[in-house]
Structure 1
């Protein structure tokens, strides 16, 4: 198999993570007087701490990993369990007090007994792994992001509870921190032999392999910002991610489901344990379900209800989620099991206990998404723009006082914009915004209109001195885009982003702002290398060819016309490929008569198309076979423009 390029393999991976381990972060600033005042005001606005959170987060503790770092096979860190040990006492001036409090509860890590027969390992990764005990084995729920932490979690369970085999694995939804570590708890051969079931929502594999194919490179780059993967874990840097403390690094795998759940009320019995499913498609993930275990009176809300307001549109980039459907799914869960459940557990954060607590929690979670949806639509229909709605929309007091729907991950602000976008698209209705100048041209005109760079510096500096960091950031951003060598604008912009990051309650916003400041000061960090992904093998080759079409450079293609056939070795699937009018078209199951035909395994075909493997070398090594001339294929390869992960964000 050829080694594909870093950017291509990132596209083929569902996540691309390294832990945000402590490292030098030069030029970090203290909180300004204005930020200290903002933090004090934020602290006064916080609701009283809910003592149940700390109780629920610590209840049933059994043990944790004996070392503070879980390591990969080669000794590199997979997860630093001590990375959040600095979160003690009162919030420092550089961290929003609400976010600090959230992480002070969230940081508890290790193996917990939720109720007899139900266990969780929390904070070995961004997400939770849960285990249901049966008479003869274990049901594993959401086996984390990478093999190493999933294996460590299962080892801890077997050591302290019961050494039994895995009978089934449940993937609650199609995000990689809930399935990528599956090889740490089961052997794929046992799945193939029918010894282990893999249960997931209907359409799971398609959802997994489609989300990151087309926009994978852009999502990957923006994920470094959203998750703050290069920020030091300290009070001036990475303070969690809202959903968890950090993302583990290591080996990812993908084992497709052996059984897909298709309708609400469907029941699966595993070794005498009944599990009743509720479909929640199109909510937090394209495919997702909640489920109830009657024997334990336990409700799993997957990621439809956690301990934070979630994203209607994730800032790394994704399709806009349906806030109305999300609320309806929680209403249905409340109706089905709200009067029965005595414990509620989720794929992130800590569980909740007691029927009254659960019913109130579900109602508030539902109401938050429904309120944001309904009130955004109301304001939209009254003519407000996304920015106006986001600026003024606030949750009702009862919801603001509930810590479980505060904006540690998603925010009312960007969720309102997402609801608007779902209905109305990108255009806000203002004619001046219909066809504005692109960022660099706009920035240069703005700087000129202000009277030049020095005038911009004075205005941005005055805004910064006044504590108006949103305005100083906007001005300095235009200074950087007008002239990337303008060091005063760069310094002002970095300093503005930093103070905005310190002040925000959202861990995601904090990570984005602080990563922007870091890159302005020292440039982008070196990206970790990526190897071939098991997910690539599960991605249909036709989907990958559709992505290849998006890399065609029309200037290089010109008016060239060509045609050839591709055949994936093993399954013999055929694809006719044509180029004309600078449009690349691939047709599954179609053979172009008289055209050259290249046959090879899928990774070899991709390696050839991306110029990572010479076609003649592959044929000579027996990795590929060709009938006809290689010229059309070689011509196409020269026209493809591979995306790179290090494209600029905070500068042009």
Structure 2
């Protein structure tokens, strides 16, 4: 009804534009000798002779397709592993433009197909960013975390049914509230199956609230930054997009959302589905605000959701989010060890590959626990000594036991940005220095910096010398100011792009690589003006509560347009018996269910009509004409209210003013 350009949520930010644009773009440059030396140093420092991960990633293979390209019914690819196969092979050494550790991560993630984890537990890996897990019950499949896209989830179901015999899906369990763990459910079962009681859907408490609302308010900004984090425009080659750290990339189908039939509310809650007993451990506020692990006592198997993966995870994701609690995260992992550490013989999770053997799993859990505890404790220690986030990120180093452990390397999160996130959680954006309390924004300060440094030509001359010396971080800092002072300078943008590119080639983190290379891409080719993300999926729109919608309207209210205005709008949603008043006053939109009796205008409709208008299946005026909306009072008030709502431009500038 009100969402002309609806919010870009985490659901929609994953539906990126294709990488075909990049193929016609300015060609990336080769690695410099400084980058080659830096990557060689990584190769000579880390224990690359350790092959245990490769053995685990390949263990239990049952079936693998010769080619893996999954399409929509009209032939549009939503998942294509073939583009990566052209340059990533197990027997191929890391190219000079890829950090060897990230290359190793990509080689492992390219292991795809149907795998047996243990008796009655199977995974299909490499069909999306996430693994999909199938538990064999008495009559059917219990599915954990059904990927992002219905198409990829269905392809995985087809693969296991073909290999092991066809069985119905009797239950779906969402481990947590991120899109890559529930979006493909509609490819496995229908809403009608769920409503008829044929399929149970379990999720942790408050799943629906967080699944729908996590990125509604700040969705547009998060979506734009996700283009950087996932390298949406980058070609899939040795100079472009590689591993995302958790998986190769994200699928691009239209994610769905089947709502839970039961929410798990407490640790040690036991549920038996189709003869399979499950015991849950609630872990809210760790990797996701609603998350849970699952213990299978009959097989001594432990499902770790996304609380432990074979990488250091994010305390603050680069696309933007609320800062996660590293201390709470470590405490829940400690609880996991205490509950099942003496019994577990196999652990598996929603990304990467499993691990077998109690003697291997418990030390793994301890290192996973301690990577978050160390980051928290040492960041806070340095914080209390007076260091700010930037200083802490430069000072903090891991002990050898964690530094040389593959499963705590920074393929997704990194020690540098996680330590800043810990500082941010406790201290906020202000670092305590008065000069930074009311400092100038980057476009204003850039012109003054360049002037103080002797002008643009002098700055470029000095920056080129620094580039030749391999000081890419410094060149990126200096040339950022040059570009913001004069965005029309091709030479400044090219030098900045060159420095970001080399930083990308050296990055061990998949998201860091994508961020750097996406920045270089946009500096050379400009900001796109079309494509981007699709609007939120129909299932998500229908799952939004009225309160979520009204909160989103409030952040779209343009204060200048609303200044001096005061009015109220009553909204009656007849099918759900929900009544609300929107009030604009003091350039602020508030909403309440305590309706006023003197509203300027009243709208009466069903929730279905509201959703259809949001989905652009119906316009406001058409709904009034067709009698789907009953309007009483002053229609001009509502029309003027709509004019006050901003529409967000997705393709805002990032590396240029």
Question: For this structure pair, what is the TM-score category when the shorter chain's length is used for normalisation?
Answer: over 0.9
Given the two structures, how large is their TM-score scaled by the length of structure 1? 0.96
Secondary structure of 2:570's counterpart equals strand
Instruction: Decide whether the 8 Å contact of 1:172 with 1:178 is kept in 2.
Output: yes
Secondary structure of 1:10's counterpart equals coil
- Find 2:201's aligned residue among 198, 202, 215: 198
Partners of 2:64 and 2:527 in 1: CA distance? 35
Instruction: Decide whether the 8 Å contact of 1:21 with 1:80 is kept in 2.
Output: no
Mark the CA change 1:607 to 1:431 in structure 2 (over 3 Å): closer, same or farther: farther
Instruction: Decide whether the 8 Å contact of 1:14 with 1:535 is kept in 2.
Output: no
- Find 1:301's aligned residue among 304, 308, 313: 304
Does residue 571 of structure 2 align to residue 566 of structure 1?
yes
Shift of 1:67: 3.8
Aligned position for 2:347: 344
- Find 2:383's aligned residue among 377, 380, 384: 380
Aligned position for 1:163: 166
* Alignment length (residue pairs): 650
Aligned position for 1:460: 463
Instruction: Decide whether the 8 Å contact of 2:17 with 2:531 is kept in 1.
Output: no
Mark the CA change 1:105 to 1:609 in structure 2 (over 3 Å): closer, same or farther: closer
Q: Deviations over 1:238-281 (max 9, x none)?
A: 11100000111112111111111111111111122110111111
Given the two structures, how large is their TM-score scaled by the length of structure 2? 0.96
Does residue 557 of structure 2 align to residue 556 of structure 1?
no
Instruction: Decide whether the 8 Å contact of 2:334 with 2:366 is kept in 1.
Output: yes
Mark the CA change 1:336 to 1:477 in structure 2 (over 3 Å): closer, same or farther: same
Aligned position for 1:58: 58
Aligned position for 1:325: 328
Q: Deviations over 1:97-118 (max 9, x none)?
A: 1100111111101111111200
Does residue 451 of structure 2 align to residue 412 of structure 1?
no
Secondary structure of 1:644's counterpart equals coil
- Find 1:274's aligned residue among 271, 274, 277: 277
Partners of 2:17 and 2:59 in 1: CA distance? 27
Aligned position for 1:597: 602
Which runs of 5 or more residues in structure 1 are unaligned?
none
Residue correspondence of structure 1 range 124-273 to structure 2 within 5 A: 124-273=127-276
Mark the CA change 1:11 to 1:399 in structure 2 (over 3 Å): closer, same or farther: closer
Aligned position for 1:42: 42
Mark the CA change 1:228 to 1:601 in structure 2 (over 3 Å): closer, same or farther: farther
Aligned position for 1:119: 122
Shift of 1:611: 11
Q: Deviations over 1:133-177 (max 9, x none)?
A: 011111100000010000110111111113111111110000000
Mark the CA change 1:238 to 1:59 in structure 2 (over 3 Å): closer, same or farther: same
Partners of 1:178 and 1:396 in 2: CA distance? 33
Instruction: Decide whether the 8 Å contact of 1:124 with 1:153 is kept in 2.
Output: yes
Does residue 482 of structure 2 align to residue 491 of structure 1?
no
Aligned position for 1:87: 88
Secondary structure of 1:169's counterpart equals strand
Residue correspondence of structure 1 range 461-610 to structure 2 within 5 A: 461-525=464-528, 526-528=530-532, 530=534, 532-602=537-607, 605=610
Q: Deviations over 1:548-571 (max 9, x none)?
A: 111111111120111111123421
Secondary structure of 1:640's counterpart equals coil
Instruction: Decide whether the 8 Å contact of 1:9 with 1:533 is kept in 2.
Output: no
Instruction: Decide whether the 8 Å contact of 2:7 with 2:217 is kept in 1.
Output: no
Instruction: Decide whether the 8 Å contact of 1:56 with 1:350 is kept in 2.
Output: yes
Does residue 414 of structure 2 align to residue 401 of structure 1?
no
- Relative to structure 2, which stretch is displaced further, 531-540 or 303-312? 531-540
Aligned position for 1:648: 653
Aligned position for 2:28: 28
CA RMSD of aligned residues (A): 1.9
Instruction: Decide whether the 8 Å contact of 2:575 with 2:607 is kept in 1.
Output: no
Instruction: Decide whether the 8 Å contact of 1:19 with 1:246 is kept in 2.
Output: no
Mark the CA change 1:3 to 1:630 in structure 2 (over 3 Å): closer, same or farther: closer
